[in-house]
Structure 1
Amino acid sequence: MARKFLVISAVLSVVVLGVLAWARFSPEESGPEPGAALVAVSVPEMTGAALEGAVLFKTNCAACHGENAAGRNEFGPPLVHKIYEPGHHADPAFLLAAMRGVRAHHWPFGDMPPVEGVSEQDVEKIVAYVRTLQRANGIN
């Protein structure tokens, strides 16, 4: 009985050591580079408020939320994402976030500070841009 226990213990020890060695020496999977886009975004033709919003977004939002609202790894989340669909984050949520800032609650990027220098009308145009991108990417 003692011999059987020793054999089973030895086999289990070898298996555990093998798993640990494999985990230590296997190549690590790396995520996207810092600043890389987090989602792929199809960009439709823009007109009117959405076109104006694209310019405002690039100036005021893209540093964190990425080009075409695709997010930026280690900086900010993509806005072309199901989390930001109108039924979950209505248009006024964007206005409040821009004007007051917002505590982190869906993503690990930290709190969003208020965006200095944008008016309510600017945010409305930015939202028109983001919603246009969302619709073009199947987010309604």
Structure 2
Amino acid sequence: MLGYVKKSKVSSANSAANSLLKAINTSLVEVDEETQDAGSITKIECAGGNATTVTITGNSYSGTTFKTKVDQYMEKAKNKAWKAQCKGGVCIAAAICVDSTYTGTSPAGVVTVDNYSTYSGSGKLDNALAAAVLKAS
């Protein structure tokens, strides 16, 4: 594939991750308004598609309800696998698998044209998220 096409796909994936991070943060604000317990959410995982596959670590808040909130702000996340790390009621890093080849992260800069294949596929979301968390620290 041409270099500029790869660069565009990587940039688009990282942009999707940034939009996901913002959607999660907005959803966390809503959770905090409802339960004042968003600060205890530490990790959010979505296997894609099925809303019941959302796992929230550190809180008993419904994963299905949280995914519905995120989907309101980012429709593109509805059928995608994604993971996010939260601290103090704020999403600090996110990773999303936009397709079988490209994964994006926020903060950006983890997945690049040179290393995108290292993070390809939803099975490597943990690696992408871990690198994004390190970058955010």
Specify the structure having the higher radius of gyration (Cα): 1
With normalisation by structure 2, the TM-score equals 0.32
